Amino acid sequence: ELAKPVYHPGFIKKVKKVLEIVCHNCSKVLADRSDPEFLQAVNTRDPKVRFNRIWNICKKKTRCENETKEVKNDDGEYSLGMKQAPVNHGGCGNIQPRVRHKALQLIAKYESSGEDGVKKKEEPQITPEMAHNILRRISDDDLRDMGLNLEYARPEWMIVTVLPVPPPPVRPSISMDGTGQGLRNEDDLTYKLGDIIRANSNVKQAIREGSPAHIAQDFEQLLQY
């Protein structure tokens, strides 16, 4: 079990897309069924196409809406001449960042106006732990709307929290002279697993001893790579 979650190199782009679909504060999808374009995307049968269509809609959103909307029909008028019940997106109202992918890092780009009216840019890193907390709070209904399988493709599983160790037959020792009788050496995979275990121990020790944040972060970066 890893001391801190790490990004999986094969899934980091997919994690980035999911983080562009949901709110980073309340984990709700940034669009809802009161948007005709979103409703049409949700009704797409192919889950992969549905996910991409919803991503294209949500990545343009800059805020998690918390206003109450009124549903109108295609002609812009209330159906049957009566006012329909208002639809509440139920969001938190937080401003959403632009997510950028850099190597094995995800960066959130915020633009905020200061008291003097000057725009300030902030680019905090989205750590794997932060991303994992956002993804695991996504509701089952939102996951279905996004086209993800609840049993086999939950988004928080795309971030590594436990590393499976292959048994020795998968990584047998190697004969150095090629005869099978001389000096033997460990497989490269065994050496790499040893590096990961040592890096993981360093992170655990830094957390246990209450080391300064920058030192703990350096050990976490070493574990990631």
Report d(CA 221, CA 199) in Å as an integer: 9
Quick: pLDDT tens for 22-44. Answer: 989 888 998 888 888 988 999 98
In which band, very low, low, confident or very high, does the pLDDT at 213 lie, cut at 50, 70 and 90?
Answer: confident
Task: Specify the residue for token string 């979650």.
Answer: 5
Quick: pLDDT tens for 161-172. Answer: 998 888 888 877
**Spatial contact of 113 and 95, defined as CB atoms under 8 Å apart:** no
Quick: pLDDT tens for 103-125. Answer: 888 998 887 766 666 677 888 88
- The pLDDT of residue 156 is 93
Report d(CA 68, CA 89) in Å as an integer: 7
The chain-wide mean pLDDT, for the chain, equals 81
**Residues forming a β-bridge with 119:** 113
Assess whether pLDDT exceeds 60 at residue 92: yes
- Cα 127 to chain centroid, rounded: 10
pTM, full prediction: 0.79
- Cα 81 to chain centroid, rounded: 44
- Cα 207 to chain centroid, rounded: 23
Q: What share of the chain is helix, strand, coil (3-state, %, to 5)?
A: 40, 15, 45
